[in-house]
Amino acid sequence: MSVMANAVRTALFGAVVSLVSFGASAADYTLSVNTALSQQDPLYKGLEEFKANVEKRSAGKMAVRLFPASQLGKDEDLLEQARAGAPVAVVVDGGRLAVFVKEFGVLGAPYVAQGYGGIRKVVTSPMFEEWVQKLRKASGHQVLSFNWWQGERHMLTNKPVKVPADLNGVRVRTPGAPVWMETIRAMGATATPLPWSEVYTAMQQQVIDGAEAQDPAIYGSRLYEVAKYLTKTGHINLITGIVTSAAWFDSLPKDMQTLLREESLKAGDSASKATEASLADFEKQMTEKGMQVVDIDVTPFREATASVYEKLGYGELHKQVDALLKQ
């Protein structure tokens, strides 16, 4: 790492420590959790449950502070602070962790598993725990749990979409991780990375022609106001996790380490089930607000994106995941 990069990282570390320390409780340990989610999102309700259960079970020795709407900064910035040992955590997808341990990227690959039940089987397996240990060594991050399901991601456009050819020339916002970018390209669109907070304005000003996201995020960001069609492609099964600093985690007493991982898993299950239960209502409300929610045959999209695995070097890992899902 260069001297300049070290200086920037140190400065950012200091800024975040100042932010998360301000107003900290009298607890022995404090963890600040940052998320891009809004407070209305079912997953955020799960974070509130995580906070309450950790604080209760630890008898007040551990405090959890929640920062919705990315109040502490971008996911990538928080991951850097965690690497530096700051007592912070971020709700993040596998694509952003794949830069450290490649295997995490397969979690965001197209049609890798069906629904929460399918993807949960992967992220609670011994195979996944091996990835967790590799991540600790590679980047200094600790996964608390990775069973925070946000739903399947669908296509948002202002023109009807039934087959990949309908997306030719359509600029679609997606996160910048390679597996997401390649998936959108394989679906026929022009992948355009942008921060989530800029999607509404970019759609409104026609900087982009479309986006892709899961129902709770679409509703929470009011994208039904700037997109006419929600086409249910279900191309990415969005599973996320709470990721913190391995150095900070290792500094905790063993009982606190166990408590954090167990309560994260429990709250993740609760939040994910709440997400499952909310999807139909989100779609109903968006329909009432004028958006057309369209079911299609996803077979052409599944076939078009099958090449993503080999292209990114996930062919063999895809076979292992398939074998796990069939057990």
Class of domain 3-101+128-150+239-277: alpha beta
Is pLDDT at 233 greater than 90 in this prediction? yes
For strand 292-295 and strand 210-213, is the pairing parallel, antiparallel, or unpaired? unpaired
Chain mean position to CA 316: 24
pLDDT of residue 207: 97
Average per-residue pLDDT for the chain: 92
312: its two tokens: 């990114």
Query: What percent of the chain stands above pLDDT 90?
Result: 87
| Amino acid found at 128 | F
Is pLDDT at 160 greater than 50 in this prediction? yes
pLDDT of residue 195: 87
pLDDT of residue 14: 52
**Mean predicted confidence (pLDDT) in 137-155:** 98
- CA 43/CA 32 separation, integer angstroms: 16
Is pLDDT at 13 greater than 60 in this prediction? no
Question: Taking CA 37 as the corner, what is the angle to CA 47 and CA 243, rounded to the nearest 5 degrees?
Answer: 55
Is pLDDT at 7 greater than 60 in this prediction? no
Q: What DSSP assignment string belongs to 115-171?
A: HHHHHHHHHTSHHHHHHHHHHHHHHSEEEEEEEEEEEEEEEEESS--SSGGGGTT-E
3-class secondary structure, 24: coil
84: its two tokens: 């530096």
pLDDT of residue 5: 46
Query: What percent of the chain stands above pLDDT 70?
Result: 92
3-class secondary structure, 92: strand
Class of domain 154-236+281-325: alpha beta
How sure is the predictor about 2, in pLDDT bands with cuts at 50, 70 and 90? very low
Is pLDDT at 24 greater than 50 in this prediction? no
Question: Is there a common fold for 3-101+128-150+239-277 and 154-236+281-325?
Answer: yes
**Mean predicted confidence (pLDDT) in 65-79:** 94
4: its two tokens: 């300049």
Q: Where are the domains of the chain?
A: 3-101+128-150+239-277, 154-236+281-325
**Mean predicted confidence (pLDDT) in 273-277:** 96
- CA 284/CA 290 separation, integer angstroms: 10
Is pLDDT at 326 greater than 90 in this prediction? yes
